[in-house]
Structure 1
């Protein structure tokens, strides 16, 4: 007020007052800028981030930004963001560079989302940043410089698609550097050894090469060192032994050579997990290893180790997992076998494998004193002799036992039936004699039984038909006689039966038609006779039928042409008569057909497989005629036609086709002219096998509100998904718009169109139409329109949370609902794999691709990575593509590098999803690292500790439903384990899975 009056009176204002006023104004402006900068940066982040799960709904003007979900502000500096944690929120798109303006930020965690693009270099200017966690996304490009982040302690970038080398200018204060499961190359930078504060260092599953620098031994505080799955070479660096605090060491799957250091266990006394498998280590197992008394997980398999297993191995009393398989370890004397006696001290041992070594002689009886928790005992492919190891009778908890590939003799004892938990028994390639014990039928959980290549005699016990979970039965190459018991064909889960090279006789029972899940039948080289039953055609899932070298007679059943999945049919060296059924020529997937050396007659078909001369064998059938000229058969007799029929034939064969060709040429020319004339309005729809309503680019734009972000419900690698009203019926639809500027997007569109061309199934997301045209600017435009699924996806159902700090799922998903969902998904995959006209491999099975309608019926969607097989000249069960990646955590081991995919790889992904649904842990959970996975975790706790690992929410329900619910969980997780076998050939088919799940679900309801 006084200043105003002085001014009005014309009195001069002192200079210091002007200076004071200017300073106050400056402070006010700076304060305003500081208060608004962080908020604007967060809003820019929200603007560029896809949010299909609506995780950022609280980020609005009605709430102060310091109370937004995931945001934490400083107490000393109000309105300055110090922490942004939005892990596992389903966020999509690139990470906004605006986060680099949050200059007070100390913690940034965006892990387990679907962020793409490069890591913004602006994050490297956050000089207060202490923790950066971007694990489990699909980030690409190189790792930017973080040299200016001098306070950075945690840098987590694993499970992405990053390339280039490990940066050489990392901050020296780093404590955790986590870079595993990327595509990093080059060598370990020498500067890494200057980061003396490191206690976690992980760069496993990359392409890093060279030798492991011995300088890493200077990192005295290092506790966790993960180097497996790279291209390292050279010897094991001795300076690593200086890391006396090391707890976990993984250097598996490299090219390391030389001997393991003799003082290994003396130096690394605190090591608990040691994984050195799949290298080229030679020499003996260091006896000092037993001084690492805390070791619980030891895998030194797949090397070239020699000598004997140290008899002091039992000092490792905490061992749970001991894998020594595929080496050159020896044992022949009682002293050599002392390690078995010693292992009895390891009371927590669950997995022990010493298969594929050079063990000789009898298995000591002390094997029966091994841990009562032992689940897996693998002694296969050695040189063991003597009788069946009697000590195994005491191991009542065994799930799997493998003694195959040895020289064991005598009978298999009846007491084997008392091991009621066994799911797999492998006794093949020995010298066992006597009859097959009928007590096998007591193993009610048995899924695989291998007795082939022995000297068993007598008959196949019909009581084996009681094994209602048996999937694989192999008793080939023995001395069995009698008929094939019809009871075997009544096992609902039977998918492979191999009885070849025996002395079986009599007919093949008509009950074989009951084997609906049968994929492989081999009864070659027996004395079977009679007619082939027509019910064989009821085995509509079978892919390979081998019945050659028997005495079958009569006509070939026409019903064989009904087996649309058939790939191989061998009926050679029998006494079959009559003609070749024409229906065989219509089998799209038939790849090999051997009808040689029978008494067949008549004309050989010329269509289908008969066009492929290398795939058909008909030698030794002297009454056959005609067929493709390459078969060099005599021409069939010509039946004369009367003149009028001859004239009609000429008209049908010559005149009419010529007229049709001319007409078609004219029509095609007109259509091409019209298409060029009206390109801006035309729509090129893929052929889906049924009539679709045509839509234009304008229709799609209007339905999505001009592709408004408010209608965006999902965003992925190749495009975005919008909701909108497209048709006059007013129903909501989901429109997938492909980003054609993204490499691979057009290929994804084509893949999805091909996959959905003729599919019809209640558990697949229904496609309504497609649009392939140009947009308003003349650019190519492609979109697919699906039925809208209002209940979202399975990932959201399992993991949606409330509040920024609450990480507990809010959805209480009942056991019954989980059963319904996983059964629906199994039906969809079984249809894609086995019931469709061509095998479809989904390639990206995960919870976010399982959508739910109003009735909570599950629908499988997103076929952008799908692979099809319609060509009968290639293998329908597998396909190869370097571009296939799938999703980390769900990709099968054999195709994780982007190589071979198959129906088996889909089965693996399904198995992971199944385990995830009932355990409610993502396969990328922090606990699943190194050699641990969700499948191994389940295996180690199955069956006795199942209730300790399942979703705690289910336990409340089990208090009501009691033992029935617990049994259901055990049965379901068992299916998941069958699906996630490491070897693709050991996994069950989706048809088997679907059948089992239906049985479990129906019984529980």
Structure 2
């Protein structure tokens, strides 16, 4: 009985102690809240006496004693200072304050948290150095103070944290040298001091850190030879010493000691001598950067064994000798190769085309004996480098199907073997093809009258202007001339090669006139003359011409009538230069199995979309067949052609070509052929239950994927509004018009309602194509359009805001629950910020990511009622990217 009483009394004392401690935790957190800036305290509104402590936002309690063991308020953007009362949370194991705006210093009282294992205060504005008391937290496993303003030096007491596995102190303006006591942290796997002002040599004691997997010292002032201690780090995946003052040579067997490296960055130091050939022993190497050093080219041979290599940068060295043929055997995963500013000689290997993943190849500066340069069918942009124009030996130059801009440079006149451009071009008698289509060249066609041996000339889909040179008619060997979709003007020649309309393509030049009838251009108006004799001659000539035209027209109409009665298999010339072969109605019918319902993948306002396999190009495409019985279908067809003919962006659907023909019943047939998007529309991903009977996605989009798609759509719209040569308003942004490719990269599609706008100033946009009202789509169209307001890019911004709401709420703006003043926009606006999770898409929350949905605030700014209050798409893109960087 006595023992029972003693135990009962002890239990009561223990309960009282824990009860008091529970209250201590609550008061400590309320003190913490009191130091948060006023405008952000609303984010901690649950921190009050009405809620149980363990249900407060960001608070985790232990199961046994209900003491606070975790505090996670990352990404809340809280301002103010960190209260010293945080040191009273004596059971705290994990503290995460990353991505806030706390200033002041790190409280000394953190040293009281002897149970603390995880501490993350990165991305704040903390100063005053690392407090010495922090080194009392001997159980710390990871310490992350990246991107603050700590300053001062690294105290030797840092070596007391012997259990540390990860230490991140980058971007803190730290000064001084690395303390030798770092060698005591033998459990470290990640160590980063990048972007500071640390100096001196690396202490030998650091060789004891044999468990390191990630070691970053980039952008400091370290000096001395390559530290011998590094050769002990056989487990390293990443070694980054870029931007220091290391010098001397690397050991020939350097890479034998570091066989597990994936990222190796040695650039911008003062290393000399040969680059170790033992790089071949690092079979998993993905990134190698040794720019701004010196050496030779032999190491490139060894790199062919690095099958995972993705980036190789050896620019700005003094590498010399011939480029080895083995460069063509580098990893097919290689997407960036930088060799510029060296002393490389010899030939570029023929088989360099084996590098099928290559996206950036830089080494053209001094190729003084280059014969062939073929860079067609890529995604190159900007102006043609002037260095190319100084390669006098160049024999063949192909740059078609890129996004190059500017005028054709006069320096091309230095290319003696191609002839003189623009004044003396014409000496290159052996030149057969001149292909510059699909770029943004402007100005007039330079003088190419001397290219008498030319067989193919393609300047289509540029911004060239002026008159068509008449000498082109005299090119006796010419088999193909494509000047489509430019800004040429004036009379089209009718002699020589221009008699044959089957080899000449002039689509999309509104100011051209005349030419042979088969070109179907408007007649040229005659200019009045002051000479009466000339008037008489003109009058007689005109009368005769009219009679001849009447006769020809009669014959032509009879021929056209009979032509409609037979099956048409005449191809329509490609309007965009992507399909080198022409495509006909019969080709499309065969490619879609007779426009079979089994190939039906969608339908829209003006047509139906089919999946098709075009045998000529050996590729799958999407064919949009216009319903020509529908009013406005022809205008939609022309709008898409006009909008997409000379714009290119990774987030805009690519129009490959078009077909304008007659079907089997003799009816007008119009079709647009696009790149095929295997993952369908964003609409079916956001509302999979509505597509269960067709091909609904097998999973839901994560929050990260939705954010990426939002960035893609915003980037495409930014390009349309600001970056193309004419501003374009899409006028119908909605999920069904956002298509997804293999990688879930988004492409804005369906330009049937788009309008090209003349930009007179930064504020005003005036409709150029049509004065007809924009229909748009109910729920997505800007409110000013319903009242007859002017078409502008601001309307797209509004639609994008609604799209953002739908993407992250999973609710359509046309949902039956909305009506009157209660809209999707007002629903979400009223929920911000405290009830935001109540209106979030349950499919996203189910995936376990509940961090505030910050992009909805952006949706409110874009979906403002007044056009003047909406932010521009360039600002939207910046903010979305910032959100992605902060949260992911």
Structure 1 length-normalised TM: 0.45
Structure 2 length-normalised TM: 0.50
